[in-house]
Amino acid sequence: MELTIKIIQVIIALVLLSVWLIRPQMETRYRGGDAKNMKEEFAFYGLPSWFMILIGILKVAAALLLIAGLWFPVLVHYTSLAVALLMAGALSMHIKVKDAIIKSLPALTLLVLSLVVFFLT
């Protein structure tokens, strides 16, 4: 079970790092509304650009803490809860703007995975 939790940690971390460091300018089928990039997506949700920066910092930090948690397990429990809260917020934005369910799947998946890690650590 411990190995499974570590694998899930890495998956969550890699997805967050990919979304926020590699693909923020890329168009994906999961962006809210008709947004072509992260900035447009946050604008579509009615959120200010400073909030996008704050969320990005929090998600990248959480990803790095999950990776560090491979060596320092004390970091994992509350970091996974933080990720779950961030994903619940993301999910709520998709619901707020009545996005198609497909656009909510990444947030929902990371929410579930984060809760698994939280409850099993």
39-85 residue pLDDT tens:
999 999 999 999 999 999 999 999 999 999 999 999 999 999 999 99
Task: Give the number of domains in the chain.
Answer: 1
pLDDT 10s digits, 84-120 = 999 999 999 999 999 999 999 999 999 999 999 999 9
Domain extent for 43: 2-25+34-120
Helix (H, G, I), strand (E, B) or coil at 27: coil
The distance from CA 11 to its chain's CA centroid, rounded to whole angstroms, is 11
Burial class (CB in 10 A: 0-12, 13-18, 19+), 119: exposed
Write the pLDDT tens digit of every residue in 10-26: 999 999 999 999 999 99
Residue matched to tokens 């930090």: 61
Model pLDDT, residue 98: 95
pTM, two decimals, is 0.94
Determine what percent of the chain is predicted with pLDDT higher than 90: 99
SS3 121: coil
